[in-house]
Each structure stands twice: as C-alpha cells, then as structure tokens.
C-alpha cells in the first residue's frame, strides 16, 4: 500500500466545483459557471490519470491508499474511512471523471439560457464527487456514503425541472426504489459487520474463510438487492425509464454511463464475497441475463427516443451483471467501459436531436434527419452499431467477451438468453435509426425545418460528441481476442488471477454476429420504408413494460398508503380514544386545573409556585413521617 | 460551573419579571442574552471535559440531611451531549419566538424557566433534585402550549399535562420505592444505583419499580402506546415550544433509562429488554406509517419524532440485552441527532413554511422551491437529514443503533429497517407536494429566507453535517461512559 496524494484530488475538485457554482450561481456568468463546473471535473480526471500512472509504476499487486478519518469508533465495530486506488477503483473513477468531463462540457451548450444554470452545474459536480467517493472508498461504509449521495444527486437532477409534474413524480420514484435497495444493502452491511467484525475491504476479504456458506450467501444477496435497485435490474427497474425526465446530459452521465453501473461495480468490488458464496454469483448471472433480454424486448416497443435508450441501458447493464455472474469480472468492467462511450454518445446525440426538434421525443414524428443532421446521423450510426455489436465497433468486443465467458463457464441457457438479447438489441437499435433518420421527413422535422440553418450545435456540444464517437469506435480494441487483452491485464491487480477470462470463441462470434445481422435486417425491413402513425389508445403489453410498473404500484405503494391511513385512523380513534376515555374519567380534575389557569399568567404562576411548594412540603412531610 | 449553567436562565426569568412589559423588544433581547450564557458555559466546559473520567464538574452540598437529600450535580459522557443540545436549541427556539407578540414578558420568562428545568434534569444526581427539575419542565411547557398555542391549545395542553403528570407521579412512586428499599437513607442516584447493581434489590421488587419508572419515562419519550399526547401537543404548541419539546423534552425520557432505570435495575432491565426493543420497533414502523397519512405538516413531523425515538429505545434494549456498546452509542447518537434535526423541522413547519403559505396542510401547498429557493433548500436538507441520508447525522445514529442491535435482535432490526423505506416515503411524498410542482395559492409576494431564519437554521444544519461526516465528534464523548455503563450491567447480570 502506497499513499497517494492524487486520490483525494479526484473527489475534492468536483466538490469544490459544486460549492463554488452553488454559491456563485447568481453572481457568475453562465460562461464562468460552465468553465468552473467542467474544469474541476477535468482536473479530477487529470488526478485520476496521475494516480493511474503512479499505480502502474509500482509493483503489481500494490494499491494506492489515502487514509481519511475515523467514522465509527468504540464498541464492536471500528470504521476508518479512506480512499483505495486499486485498478478496479481507478478504472471506474477514470470513466466517471473522463466521460463526466465531456458531459459537463456538452451541458454548457445544452443548458445555455436555462435560468437555473448554476444549480445544474452544482448538482452535476456534486454527483461526480459522490460517485468518485463510491468507487474510491476502501470499505463498505465509504461506499454507502457515496451510494446515498449519488442517489440524492440523481433525485435532484431527475427533478431538475421541478415544476413539471412528471419530473417530480419520477424523482420521488427513483429515490424511493433505490432507497428500498439501499435498506437491503444496509442490512447486508449490518450482517457483514456481525459476521466479519470489519467493513474495510481487505480486512473483510481476509476473514471470509470460516464464515458459514449460508451467511456469505445471505450477505451477498442483500448487497445484490441494493445493486439491482441502483442498476435498474429486474424487478426494481421501473424508475429508470421515468428518470428520463431529467435533462438529457444527466440521463447520459447518471442514468446511462455511470451511476446505474454502481451495482456492477459493487459485485466486482465484492467479488471475493460473491465468489465464496457461489450461489449469489449464480443469482447475479440470472438477474443480469433476464434483464438483458427483458430490457431489449421492451426497448423494441418504445416510441420515445429516450425511453428506448433507457431500456437499452438496463439491458446492457444486465449484460455486465451476466458477465460478473459467470466470474468474468474483467469482461464485465470492460463492457462498462465501452458502454460508457457508446451510450453516452447516443444520449448526447439524442440530446442534439431533441434540441433541434424543440423538445420532440416521439420517434413517430421524426424521420429523415439524415439529411439535415449528417454529423448527428454519423454519431447515431456509430453508437447504435456499437450497441448492436457490429464489428469493429466497441460493443462488439466487450459483449462478445461476456457471451463467450457465459458459454465457457457452462451456462448454455444464459448464453442463449444473451444471444437472443443481442438479436433484439440490433433490432431496436436499427429501428431507432430507421425511424429517426431514414425515410421521408416526419412532421416534427418539417415543423422545425426553418432552424436548419443553425447547424447542429455549438462546439461545446459537438466536441464531446466527437470524442465519444472516437471512443465508441475504438474502445473495444483494448481487447481483441488473440490480439490485445488490456482490461484483463490491468485489472489483474484487483482480481488476482481469479477472474474468468474466456478464450476466443468462434461459435459465440458467429452466433452473435448472425443475431445482430438478423435483428438489423428485420428492423430495417420493417421501419425503413414507412413510418408508423402515432396511435391513440392503450399501449401494447411490451410498450407498457409488461405492466410491471402498475403491478408494483398495486402491490407496494397503494397497500402502503392504505395501511398508513388505517394506522392514522386507529391512532386517533383507537389508541387515543382509549386514553381519552381515561382522561374523561379524570375530567373533573382537569376541569379544575383549567379553571384555575384560565386567568392571568401571574395568577397561574402563583398557583404553580403554590402547587410546587405544596408538593415539596407534602413529600417532605410524607418522608419525615417514616 | 454547573450551578451557574443551570440557574443563569432562572436569573434571566426573574430579571424579565421585573422588566416593563411594554418594552417587548428589550425583553426578547434579554431572554436571548440569558439563554446564550449557558451555551457559552457549555462550550467552556467542553474544553475541560474529559471523556472517560466519569462524573465531572461535580458539586455536592448537604441540603436536607435529615432525609438524605443533597444538592448534587455532575455530568458525564451520557448527559453532557444533552447539555450541549439543550444549550444550543433553547436560544435558537427563543430567537424563533421573537415573532410572539402576545404576553411577551410571560412567554420569555417561562421559556427561561423551562431551560433551567431541562438543564437541571440532565445534571441532577440526586433523586429529589431530579424530580424537582423534572416537574419544573412540565409546568412552563403546559403554559406555553395552553396560552400561546393554536386553536385547540386548551385540549392539547391539558392532555399534555395529564399524561406527563401521570407519568411523573408513577415515576415518583418508583423513586420513593428505591429510596426506601435501599435503606441507605440517601437520594444519591449513584449510590442507589451501586446498591442495585450489587443485586441488593429483590427481583420482584425490581420488576415493579422498573415498570413504574418505565411508565414515567415511556410517557415522556413517548413510547407506543403512550404517545398520543405528542401529536396534539406539537400541533398546538408555538414554534419555539415545539422545538424544545422535540429537541430536548423527549430525550429526558430516554435519558431516564440511561441514568436511572438501566444502571439501577439491571436485572429487570434485561428482563424487559425484549419487550422494550419490540415497542421501539413498533414505534419506528407505526410512527412512520402514521406520519405518512398526515396532511398536516407539523403533525407529520410529530409522528416522525415518535418513529425516531423508537431507534433510541431499540438501541438501549440491545445494549442491555446483548451488551452492545455500538447499539447504546447509537441510541445516544440518535438522541443528539434528532435533538438538532427535529427543532429544524419544527421551525420549518411552524415558521419558515407557515409564515409564507399561511397553511400547514400539505395538499394546499406546492412549488415552494421555485418561489423561495433558499427556504426550499433548507426544508430539503432537513427532510433528507431526517430520512437518514448517508453523510448526515441521522444516518450515523441509525447505522450505529442498527449495526449494534443486529446480532441481538436480528428480526426486529429487519422489521425496523423497513421503517427506513417508509421514512423515506413520507418525506419524499411531502417534498413532492410541498417543494416541487407548480406554485399554489397566492402568486409572488413571498420573501425568501430572512436573516433571523438563517441564524436559527444554519447552526443546526452545520452540526447535522458535521456529526454525519465526522461522528467521532460525539462518539468519542459518549463511548467511555457507555462502555462503563455496559460493563456495570454485564457485571450485575453475572458477566459474559
């Protein structure tokens, strides 16, 4: 363990940015606010790079640390907070701050003119701070401090336009569902504290042996519930599509690239625990596999461009969990890496489209944008191609590695799920492309065609899109089967030979390519020539997310509120009534007291003093008579 | 020093009694000044206070030697944090009460008298003295509610009075029983506790006395089902009264367990630990559910207090039954944390929000954040602190309580943790309706935060943040005393 002074910079710069932009939101110009907000995240990224270089210069197996302060002391549990810069933590931190920087920059253009510009930057910086704390902590307590605060940032930013009814509902829903997961996670922490007496990662992992299998599984599963809620996995995913109420860059950063992958990070971070349980890892794989398929099915039935991307995100995070669940932690982290590029790219490009169409998000009213927005079209083409898993784009390599690992780990059923989801992914990707960009111009495009002269956006918006575009093309080249294996190598310091690295797998390669081509072909054949007309009437089953949202509402929220009303009624009529009955019996006494005190306070004070004196004398007399 | 601490407010009350009642502003300032002196004294004491050194700042004089009453004051790691809370919250509550225009003189005199009572309860080490302070607290609060309260103040104040008087009379019986059964001829709390720990009280006797004390403290906390006076009292009380009621008065009940019931009657406490823990968890869940259904903002906060005090009761029970230092530390932590968050909540519900919306009904409000952003932010801060956002003091207290109680009462902790979801639920629902959305009611004309409101809320917010980020600020203070208490209990129970 080597102390590194670069680590705190990753947290402190965004925190400082949040404080300065919050306090100076009325004083500074939007230009300076954007510069401060983006610049601090950029500095955080540079600190991350410096820490990464420092780590690489050390012997393998070394870790960067930075001790902070005691958080809990005395009693059965001692907790000292600290930062932990191992390859996994820095891997995540670099993406959070790197992609975060680009999205901050993009926001300068996207949010220009918004009256709450300063508040926006303050909250976005605060998110980067909290997320960095989450990934860089050296124990579960620090993790949960970050975990809760990214939740708050997410709440504030989903509800950023808080006058909107849909936005405030979405914010509440997101916080509440993730809080439910957090409570399960807390129970996992309590149990872990009882079982290991430690919540500091290395100390905890050192004590895994000797703890019963059942306990390990129970703790892992409780942590997993938290991960499932945060990462919008089945069945706690219903908040994510609604969360798209937030500004689009927020969707890109928080609800696509980083925060929703916190669950994946948790499983990868706690890999010794999940591996020791075995069963828990199996559950992780199934949750991930099923969500990957479910998200892809539902995404293919959405008409709102951002909701397509939201369901796509949950599906892709499902892949990451699938990878982690079969023990291919490095592959999982790798897919997080490529996904951050192409999904952020897609969201930011979608933001450009929405911006251009004056807020229109319905795919059925778009169409033909290829001509007026060539750069955005290229971005979508690359982003969707990467998402669909077309070579040589980023998603192809990382998804394939996960699928190969699934097959080689002896999970043919999960593998089949994954391949089917891949076909559906290609289908919804090219459905989106066809609806928005191909064919004749849709009504929303025609209505705003006068703004065509304005170009596609300012440089602060196009530069980040361009850089992400490069990433979406090239990020996958870090792990070309048989050629490169960068993620596996650099993450070795965390997984210590225990992560499963699949070999090149020609069956998987063929199957997933075939699946992608079939999905793409069907989508283009179906949606290229004609655009569906918006229909009035109830949405189809898949479009409504199989009604899980409503089912959940009926099963939890409504009974909860009903129970609350019953309790409140019982409290007034029952418990209080009972006691009031007693009080009525002593009413005579009460009446007297009241009459005495109805007059002036002075007289009351006299009565009071008299009463006290009486009490005093009385008790003295009582006592001395014994 | 403790004498000066306790009686400065009383002197202030007397000074105010001799002031011209027309000079209202002068009276307000005098009250504030006299309430700031205890805060100063407590801060001075904090520098000298040594955690782990047992009772400190002890003052002891014979008072009524014939029956063994002495004037005996002292403070340790269990009571000192409560002195800080009391000395901090009272001046803020007085400041919050500057808008009182009706019978100003009496109001502030009573408020200072109340502070003397509260401080006295936490430092008295003689039962006789303790009881006097206990009653001194009751009476001014009765008047504060009954005279300066809302429309149903008469009902609320009488209910408060009857409940707490019944509680304290039964408690007095318990205290007298201890006095006589010990045969020591002294009201010295520590001596009687020592006697109890040596197992010199008959087990059946212990049970009866514990029940009597339990009832007395339970009404004050309040523990379900003795809690129904609280929502009425809070809703009707003036803002300043609510602030000290929630911030300090409720803690007198749980303090009674720490100082009296547990150390003096450890065997009975262990025997009743499970029912206590059960009642604590019932309070957590029941209080949260009841809070969720309240349309009245103040009532919601009141039920939330019942819910939060449940953590304290659970922590005490787990500390007794399982010897968990963490659980008891957590209980004390929640006492302090709730002691600073709940006054802020009541200040918001009763003053900051009310004076702008002229209603306390949640369904009638809306869009406060877009009208008065700073006030809205303070409300959001308080709500997130109260719902246990990691990084603020509420989370730390709940975490310590639960982590300590988990091995002792696993099922109960799991049920109690569900309460955390409900707690998040009603706070979020409240914010959704009060803060977010389109503004309702009269458009414009709302003034954002005033200087006085800032002065009241900023210290509470700062402390909430500081304790959440750096809990050892408080933990290091209480831990040695809690360890000593737990050791005594374990020893009395035959050790582990």
The pLDDT tens digits for A428-468 are 999 999 888 888 788 877 777 765 555 677 788 888 888 99
B41 within domain boundaries: no
Q: What is the ipTM of this complex?
A: 0.93
Which residues of chain B lie closer than 8 angstroms to A590, CB-CB?
Answer: 158, 162
Nearest Cβ partner of B400 from A72, A152, A619? Answer: A72
pTM of this structure: 0.91
**Preferred mutation among A11, A75, A154 to probe B, highest tally of B CBs within 10 A:** A75
DSSP B342-396: HHHHHHIIIIITHHHHS--BGGG---HHHH-HHHHHHHHHHHHHHTT-TTSHHHH
Q: What is the pLDDT of residue A623?
A: 47
In a domain, B375, yes or no: yes
pLDDT at A607 (0 to 100): 46
pLDDT at A536: 60
Least confident of A356-365, B234-243, B420-429, B450-459: A356-365
A74 to chain B: closest CA residue:
B479
* Cis ω for the linkage preceding B218 (within 30 of 0): no
Contact at CB, A163 and B103, closer than 8 angstroms:
no
Per DSSP, the three-state class of A139 is strand
Is the confidence at residue B331, as pLDDT, over 50? yes
b/e A36-55 (16+ beta carbons within 10 angstroms → b): bbbbbbbbbbbbbbbbbebb
Q: Which chain A residue has the Cα nearest residue B389?
A: A148
**Testing the interface with A: which of B228, B394, B426, B448 to mutate, by most A Cβ within 10 A?**
B228
Note whether A568 contacts B400, CB cutoff 8 Å.
no
Contact (Cβ atoms closer than 8 angstroms) between residue B474 and residue B330: no
Distance from CA of B272 to the nearest CA of A (A): 22
Question: Six-digit token pair at A512?
Answer: 């997933």
Measured in angstroms, the CA of B158 and the nearest CA of chain A are apart by 7
Which among B144, B425, B427, B467 is the top mutation candidate for probing chain A, defined by the most A β-carbons within 10 Å of its own β-carbon? B425
Whether residue B412 lies inside any domain: the answer is yes
Under 8 Å CB pairs connecting chains A and B tally to 190
Closest by Cβ to B143, choosing from A169, A189, A601: A601
B72 is a domain residue? no
Distance CA B102, CA A600 (A): 12
Name the pLDDT band for A260 (thresholds 50, 70, 90).
very high
- The partner residues of B91 in beta bridges, in order of sequence, read none
Q: Which residues of B touch A580 (CB under 8 A)?
A: 159, 228
Of B414, B418, B475, the CB nearest to A72: B475
Q: What are phi and psi of A426, to 5 degrees?
A: -65, -35
Residues from chain A contacting residue B426 (CB–CB below 8 Å): 564
Lowest mean pLDDT among A62-76, A319-333, B80-94, B116-130: A62-76
Angle (CA) B305-B32-B463 rounded to 5° is 45
Contact A626 B429 (CB under 8 A): no
Average pLDDT over residues B167-178: 89
Q: At residue A611, does pLDDT exceed 60?
A: no
Q: Structurally, how many domains does chain B consist of?
A: 1
B73 SS3 class: strand
**Token pair recorded at residue A584:** 């009525």
pLDDT surpassing 60 at residue A413:
yes
pLDDT at B148 over 80: yes
Assigned token pair, B450: 């005033």
The pair phi, psi for residue B60, each rounded to 5°, is -145, 125
User: How near does any CA of chain A get to the CA of B50, in Å?
Assistant: 16
Q: Which residues contact B92 (CB under 8 A, 6 or more apart)?
A: B243, B343, B347, B455, B456, B459, B460
> Which pLDDT belongs to residue A530?
67
Using a CB-CB cut-off of 8 Å, the residues of chain B touching A597 are 143, 146
Distance from CA of A168 to the nearest CA of B (A): 6
What residues does A200 pair with on adjacent strands?
A139
- Are A75 and B329 within 8 A, CB to CB? yes
Range of the domain at B333: 276-496
Chain B residue numbers touching A180 (CB-CB < 8 A):
421
Asked whether residue B477 is domain-assigned, the answer is yes
Instruction: Find chain B residues with C-beta within 8 A of A586's C-beta.
Output: 162
Determine, yes or no, domain membership for B66: no
Structural domain includes residue B436: yes
Nearest chain B Cα to A567, which residue?
A: B290
Which band of pLDDT confidence, cut at 50, 70 and 90, is reported for residue A550?
Answer: confident
Contacts with A75 from chain B: Cβ below 8 Å: 324-326, 329, 400, 404, 479, 482-483
What local confidence, expressed as pLDDT, does residue B36 receive?
94
Instruction: Give the orientation angle of helix B451-469 with respect to helix B373-386, to 10 degrees.
Output: 30
Residue B99 neighbours by CB distance under 10 Å? 13
Residues of chain B in contact with residue A26, where contact means CB-CB under 8 angstroms, are none
Nearest CA in chain B to A155: B428
| Each residue's pLDDT tens digit, B237-273 | 999 999 999 999 999 999 999 999 999 999 889 888 9
Report CB contact under 8 Å: A149, B159: no
User: How much is the mean pLDDT over chain B?
Assistant: 90
Our CA dihedral for B351, B355, B361, B365, rounded to 10 degrees, sits at -120
DSSP letter at A254 equals I
With contacts defined as CB-CB under 8 Å, which chain B residues touch A145?
390-391
A149/B154 touch (CB, cutoff 8 Å), yes or no: no
Whether residue A182 contacts residue A226, with contact meaning beta carbons closer than 8 Å, is answered with yes
Whether the per-residue pLDDT at A534 is higher than 80: the answer is no
CA distance A486 to A500: 14
Is residue B319 assigned to a domain? yes
């Amino acid at each position: 363990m080597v102390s590194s002074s670069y680590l705190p910079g990753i947290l402190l710069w965004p925190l400082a940015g949040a404080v300065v932009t919050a306090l100076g939101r009325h004083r500074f110009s939007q230009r300076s606010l954007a510069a401060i907000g983006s610049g601090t995240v950029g500095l955080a990224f540079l600190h991350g790079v410096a820490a990464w270089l420092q780590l690489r210069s050390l012997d393998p197996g070394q870790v960067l640390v930075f001790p902070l302060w005691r958080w809990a002391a005395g009693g059965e549990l001692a907790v000292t907070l600290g930062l932990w810069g191992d390859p996994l933590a820095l891997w995540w931190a670099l993406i959070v701050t790197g992609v975060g920087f680009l999205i901050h920059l993009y926001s300068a253009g996207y949010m220009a003119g918004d009256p709450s510009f300063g508040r926006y930057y303050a909250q976005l910086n605060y998110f980067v701070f909290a997320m960095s704390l989450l990934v860089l902590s050296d124990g579960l307590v620090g993790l949960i401090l970050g975990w809760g605060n990214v939740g708050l940032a997410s709440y504030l930013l989903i509800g950023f336009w808080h006058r909107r009814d849909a936005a405030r509902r979405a914010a509440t829903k997101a916080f509440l569902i993730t809080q439910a997961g957090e409570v399960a996670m807390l129970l996992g922490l309590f149990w872990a504290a009882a079982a290991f007496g430690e919540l500091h990662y290395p100390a905890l992992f050192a004590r895994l042996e000797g703890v019963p299998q059942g306990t390990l599984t129970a703790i892992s599963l409780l942590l997993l519930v938290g991960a499932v809620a945060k990462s919008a996995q089945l069945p706690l995913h219903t908040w994510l599509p609604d969360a798209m109420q937030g500004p689009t860059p927020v969707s890109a950063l928080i609800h696509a690239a980083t925060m929703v992958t916190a669950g994946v990070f948790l499983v990868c971070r706690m890999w010794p625990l999940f591996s020791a349980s075995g069963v828990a890892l199996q559950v992780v794989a199934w949750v991930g596999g099923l969500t990957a398929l479910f998200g892809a099915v539902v995404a293919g039935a959405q008409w709102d461009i951002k909701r397509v991307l939201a369901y796509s995100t949950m599906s892709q995070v499902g892949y990451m969990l699938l990878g982690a669940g079969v023990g291919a932690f490095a592959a999982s982290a790798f897919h997080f890496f490529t996904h951050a590029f192409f999904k952020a790219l897609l969201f930011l490009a979608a933001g450009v489209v929405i911006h251009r169409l004056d807020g229109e998000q319905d795919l059925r009213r778009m169409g033909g944008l290829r001509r007026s927005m060539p750069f955005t079209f290229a971005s979508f083409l690359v982003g969707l191609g990467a998402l669909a898993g077309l070579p040589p784009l980023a998603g192809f390599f990382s998804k394939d590695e996960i699928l190969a690992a699934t097959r080689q780990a002896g999970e043919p059923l999960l593998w089949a799920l994954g391949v089917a989801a891949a076909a559906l992914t290609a289908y919804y990707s090219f459905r989106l492309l066809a609806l928005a960009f191909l064919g004749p111009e849709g009504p929303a495009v025609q209505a705003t065609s006068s703004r065509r002269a304005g170009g596609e956006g300012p440089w602060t918006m196009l530069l980040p899109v361009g850089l992400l575009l490069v990433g979406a093309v090239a990020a996958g080249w870090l792990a070309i089967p048989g050629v490169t294996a960068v993620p596996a190598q650099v993450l070795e310091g965390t997984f210590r030979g225990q992560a499963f690295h699949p070999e090149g797998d020609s069956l998987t390669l063929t199957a997933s390519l075939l699946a992608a081509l079939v999905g793409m072909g069907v989508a283009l054949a179906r949606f290229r020539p004609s655009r569906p007309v918006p229909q009035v009437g109830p949405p189809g089953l898949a479009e409504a997310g199989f009604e899980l949202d409503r089912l959940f509402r009926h099963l939890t929220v409504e009974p909860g509120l009903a129970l609350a009303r019953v309790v409140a009624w019982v409290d007034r009529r029952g418990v209080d009534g009972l006691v009031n009955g007693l009080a009525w019996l002593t009413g005579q006494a009460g009446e007297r007291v009241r009459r005495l005190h109805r007059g002036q306070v002075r007289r009351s004070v006299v009565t009071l003093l008299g009463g006290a004196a009486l009490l005093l004398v009385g008790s003295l007399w009582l006592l001395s008579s014994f | 020093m403790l004498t000066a601490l306790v009686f400065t407010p009383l002197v202030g009350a007397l000074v105010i009694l001799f002031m011209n009642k027309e000079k209202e502003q002068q009276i307000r300032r005098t009250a504030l000044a006299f309430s700031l002196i205890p805060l100063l004294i407590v801060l001075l004491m904090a520098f000298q206070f040594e955690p782990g050194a047992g009772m400190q700042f002890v003052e002891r004089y014979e008072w009524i030697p014939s029956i063994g009453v002495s004037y005996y004051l002292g403070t340790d790691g269990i009571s000192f944090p409560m002195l800080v809370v009391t000395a901090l919250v009272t001046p803020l509550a007085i400041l919050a009460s500057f808008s009182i225009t009706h019978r100003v003189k009496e109001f502030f005199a009573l408020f200072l008298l109340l502070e003397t009572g509260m401080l006295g309860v936490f430092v008295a080490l003689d039962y006789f003295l303790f009881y006097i302070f206990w009653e001194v607290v009751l009476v001014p609060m009765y008047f504060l509610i009954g005279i300066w309260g809302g429309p149903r103040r008469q009902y609320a104040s009488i209910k408060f009075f009857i409940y707490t008087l019944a509680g304290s009379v039964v408690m007095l019986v318990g205290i007298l029983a201890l006095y006589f059964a010990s045969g020591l001829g002294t009201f010295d709390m520590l001596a009687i506790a020592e006697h109890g720990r040596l197992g010199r009280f008959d087990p059946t006797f212990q049970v009866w006395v514990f029940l009597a004390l339990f009832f007395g403290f339970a009404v004050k906390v309040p523990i379900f089902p003795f809690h129904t006076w609280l929502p009425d009292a809070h809703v009707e009380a003036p803002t300043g009264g609510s602030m000290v009621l929630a911030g300090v008065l409720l803690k007198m009940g749980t303090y009674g367990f720490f100082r009296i019931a547990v150390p003096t009657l450890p065997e009975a406490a262990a025997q009743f630990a499970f029912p206590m823990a059960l009642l604590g968890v019932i309070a957590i869940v029941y209080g949260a559910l009841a809070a969720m259904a309240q349309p009245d903002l103040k009532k919601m906060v009141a039920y939330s207090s019942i819910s939060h005090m449940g953590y304290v009761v659970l922590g005490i029970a787990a500390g007794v039954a399982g010897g968990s230092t963490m659980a008891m530390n957590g209980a004390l932590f929640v006492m302090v944390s709730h002691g600073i968050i709940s006054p802020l909540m009541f200040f918001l519900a009763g003053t900051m929000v009310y004076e702008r919306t002229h209603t306390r009904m949640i369904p009638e409000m809306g869009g406060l954040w877009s009208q008065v952003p700073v006030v809205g932010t303070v409300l959001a801060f308080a709500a997130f602190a109260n719902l246990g956002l990691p990084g603020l003091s509420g989370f730390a207290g709940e975490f310590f309580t639960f982590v300590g109680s988990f091995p002792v009462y696993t099922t109960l902790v799991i049920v109690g943790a569900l309460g955390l979801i409900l707690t998040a639920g009603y706070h979020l629902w409240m914010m959704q309706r009060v803060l977010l959305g389109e503004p309702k009611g009269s458009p414009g004309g709302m003034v954002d935060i005033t200087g006085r409101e800032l002065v009241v809320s900023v210290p509470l917010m700062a402390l909430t943040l500081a304790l959440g980020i750096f809990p050892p600020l408080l933990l290091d203070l209480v831990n040695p005393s809690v360890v000593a208490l737990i050791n005594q209990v374990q020893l009395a129970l035959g050790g582990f």
